[in-house]
Chain A
């Protein structure tokens, strides 16, 4: 039976990281899903909610719920946005909740029941568990199980992995210096691994850590988990030039 699933691209993924969203589509279709993308979706409202702008967040949350009406399952390549929908919406909305929202690794492991997605990615990779995927969703070992099954991938453990990278949404701007101090320590840990690729389930955190790694010309790049899992021996994942 074909699984019908909607992709929640998230505003950040849709606008700044379209390759991640394309990778999710390729991966899910390869695994036999039928993927839809309702055009009415925009932003979950997390930035507004977390910064204190609740009146602005509520209509965005309502609209997102309506955008995904009719789907049994929604998949997001973001632990943070998935947690917003699953953990915060019930307190914010009381009704009109979207269909079952999954973070990508949860959907693969729990719903599709796969850990080996047939991926090939011949690089030295370290994984940063993002705070909301770890502590709000509780994705646990799922992303690591998926990565361990990737052919050619040399997975190296990130020391003090569960420490926040310092992104924190508008925290990165409102407390830019503290955010940078946290980033400095996270980058030090990443460099300690000698990995060439840092991966995670959230492009927001990757944009922050990757922005620092790029600024300092460290030679480490950030790649979303979806793009690693989408990559195969026949069709290596190449981000849009």
Chain B
């Protein structure tokens, strides 16, 4: 089976990737500032809604229904889209999806396509596949454009250039954007204006647009994209052909269900009460918008994840990024250390499931990239118990490991000691004896693996007697 392009080749396992990121002071400052700003804003707008917890439960319940009856809803959406003049394609994996999109693009006679920000197309590496087929993909979301022009990788689901500050963005524009003025100031307004001039021509000349989808209503076949900039709407309305690549799990049963998600998503993602642009279309409409509409339904590991009774809750995700913004690990390492288009807590549980290769060490390292503090679960608008899935995937990673690894041996040795109170007390006494020779009661330099602790922290020496020894003497 071909490699799933959801992860990037050449990125090491998380601890090593984090080593580089943690040393980048500019990244640290950018990430701290950005995550704290949006974290505080989100907390404010969420606290305005007295029924927030009920909305979260409703979002969870609707998505659980979709996942439990996915076959029914998928057939329903296919019928509805087809009935309204759209064409539905089914893609088992990234390669199939990319082939479909490339073929459709060629049929439309396009050498250049404009793109609406989309995680599904990033996940399948569509831009690279199109380029290999001679088609240039232009990202029109401002942050995606910054990443694309900078020959960079995204570091956030919603704000892929979150790791860049305005001075860095100005440099990227001056270097890479044709016609960008040499005296471009590092002001948000001026930078947005430069991007606007650059993109306007593309919107007006593109024959094909490619989008993802936030939601698809199974009953009506309506597809929805929510966004902040309006560039998405340009793509969705101007070109002759529109191709939407959508993960299987993006469905909602009925139009009314959107009532829940259009409250949950903007407050959780951009910390807005309502997003500025909500575009909805159903098939094709004569005389209005694209002449041709194609919906590519993407599996790419999703049905395998669905078969996992604990892991499947990750498929409830609506890609809001609230978990990234509150995560203390993500805040410090940034998104690129996760080596995947899906970084942060949701990435740590989604990526290994999509990769579905227990021997992929980079993917297997991701569930360990968490202190299990639970801030992600608290923030998740569809109540994905991310810590639960993390420990579940850690158990799977352990299963795939050789039984005689140093860690596995140490873990089973410790379990054997804990399993027998006499051995346990004997070990305590041995420790207490050794502890007597530690000056000051603190150890600053232990051999490996203790060195992983003492590299930055002192370790208390075992005290003269354990509590149970004291209890036996005084109370036993």
Q: List A residues at the B interface (Cβ < 8 Å).
A: 9, 11, 13-19, 21-22, 37, 39-43, 45, 47-54, 56-57, 59-60, 63, 131-132, 135-136, 162-164, 166-183, 207-208, 210-212, 214-215, 240
Chain A residues with CB under 8 Å of B375's CB are 131, 135, 162, 164
Contact A182 B378 (CB under 8 A): no
List the 3 closest A-B pairs by CB distance, nearest first.
Answer: A168-B371, A211-B457, A52-B394
Give how many B residues have a beta carbon under 8 Å from the other chain's beta carbons.
Answer: 61
15 A-B residue pairs with CB within 8 Å: A15-B431, A39-B471, A45-B418, A48-B411, A52-B391, A131-B372, A162-B375, A172-B452, A173-B449, A175-B18, A178-B18, A178-B333, A178-B369, A181-B28, A182-B329
Q: Which of B329, B391, B452 contacts A50 (CB 8 A)?
A: B391
Contact B395 A54 (CB under 8 A): yes
Contact A14 B466 (CB under 8 A): yes
Q: List B residues at the A interface (Cβ < 8 Å).
A: 14-15, 18-19, 22, 28, 328-329, 332-333, 367-375, 377-378, 391, 394-398, 407-408, 411-412, 414-415, 418-419, 421, 424, 428, 431, 442, 444, 449, 452-453, 455-460, 462-468, 470-472, 475
Contact B462 A16 (CB under 8 A): yes
Contact B373 A131 (CB under 8 A): yes
A63 to B452, CA, bound (A): 31
Contact B373 A164 (CB under 8 A): yes
Report B447 CB to chain A, min CB distance, Å.
13
Contact B415 A48 (CB under 8 A): yes
Given contacts A59-B419, A179-B371, whether A135 and B377 have CB atoms under 8 Å apart is: yes
Chain B residues with CB under 8 Å of A57's CB are 415
* Chain A: CB-nearest residue to B443: A211
A82 to B414, CA, bound (A): 20
Chain A residues with CB under 8 Å of B22's CB are 177-178, 181
Chain B residues with CB under 8 Å of A171's CB are 368, 370-372
Report B171 CB to chain A, min CB distance, Å.
27
Chain A residues with CB under 8 Å of B455's CB are 176, 180
Report A85 CB to chain B, min CB distance, Å.
15
Chain A residues with CB under 8 Å of B408's CB are 53
Given contacts A173-B449, A173-B453, whether A135 and B373 have CB atoms under 8 Å apart is: yes
Contact B328 A175 (CB under 8 A): no
Report A179 CB to chain B, min CB distance, Å.
7
Contact A14 B467 (CB under 8 A): yes
A168 to B453, CA, bound (A): 12
Contact B328 A42 (CB under 8 A): no
Among B333, B377, B452, max chain A CB count under 10 A is at: B452
Given contacts A9-B467, A37-B475, A212-B456, whether A42 and B372 have CB atoms under 8 Å apart is: no
Contact B328 A166 (CB under 8 A): yes
Report A5 CB to chain B, min CB distance, Å.
14
